[in-house]
Amino acid sequence: MSNRPARLFVLLAALGALGVPQRGVAQGASASFTVRAVVVTIGMTIVTVRDLNFGTVPKGVATTVQPTAATAGEWQITGNPNAFVTIAFTLPTQLTNIQALPGSTMPITFLANSARWRRANNNPAGGNAFNPAVGATGRFGPNANPTLYIWIGGRVNPAVTAKPGIYRGTIILSLTYL
């Protein structure tokens, strides 16, 4: 606890440097200036680093993106060192062609090892594999790097009769501080 004031100060300085507004108030001839700062403890920041992208896929052939691939979806989460969080997904079963008439869809599946998480290391190789349909309990990194990375892949299998266009869907990641 001894470094707490310094920690808060640095965090406030960081927020200030990032453009968090501060309020100046002038009153009458003798102007005064008050600076408001929001004192926060360590929060949690979830950043979507990259969407899951299958790119252009051939009809009638299954295309799989591994969670270790450069096109896998990725999140970076910063939080309390060593803290546990539950990782849960809401996954689509169909993707929708946003350029075709309504009803043009494509199935998408997620394998038992389609997701990974890792503490303090932005490299999915060596991460903890898990089934995104089941979820997992992850953990932030230690004091020096209190981050958690999550990756997700999947598989699409467009039918031979699938209409061309852009197919879109949404994956929801839920993280719960425990």
Partner 1 sequence: MTRALWLAAALGLGAASLEAQGVMVAPHAIYIDHRARSGSVLLYNPGTEAVEVTISTLFGYPVTDSSGAIVLRTVDAPDSTLPSALAWIQAFPRRLTVAPLERQTVRLLARPPVGLPDGEYWVRLMIAVKAGTIPITGVSDTTAIQVGLTLEVRTIIGIAYRKGPVTTRVMLSQLRAQLVGDTLITWSRLERQGNAAFVGTIRGTVVDSTGATRASFASPLGVYFTMEPRIASIVGKLPRGRYWLRYEVVAEREDLDPAVVLPAPTVRDSVQLIVP
Q: Which is nearer to partner 1, 2 or 32 (CB)?
A: 2
Radius of gyration of the CA atoms of the chain, in A: 22
Q: Which of 67, 75, 105, 114 binds partner 1 (CB under 8 A)?
A: 75
**Among 30, 65, 32, 36, which residue's Cα sits nearest to residue 51?**
65
Tell me whether strands 94-97 and 147-152 are parallel, antiparallel or unpaired: unpaired
6 vs 130: CA distance, rounded Å: 38
Q: What angle do CA 16, 77, 82 make, to 5 degrees?
A: 105
Name which of residues 78 to 97 contact partner 1 (CB under 8 A). Answer: 78-84, 86, 92, 95
Size of the site for partner 1 (CB under 8 A): 82
Q: Which of 26, 36, 94, 164 binds partner 1 (CB under 8 A)?
A: 164
Q: How far is the CB of 163 from partner 1 (least distance, A)?
A: 8
Q: How far is the CB of 26 from partner 1 (least distance, A)?
A: 23
Under the binding rule (CB under 8 A), the answer on residue 6 touching partner 1 is yes
Q: Which is nearer to partner 1, 44 or 133 (CB)?
A: 44
Q: Which residues, other chains included, contact 164 with Cβ-Cβ below 8 Å and sequence gap of 6+?
A: 99
Name which of residues 28 to 67 contact partner 1 (CB under 8 A). Answer: 38, 40-59, 63
Core vs surface per residue 104-126: b (16+ CB within 10 A) or e: bbbebebbeebbbbbbbeeebee
> Residues 125-154: x/- map of binding to partner 1 (CB under 8 A)?
-----------xx-----xxxxx----x-x
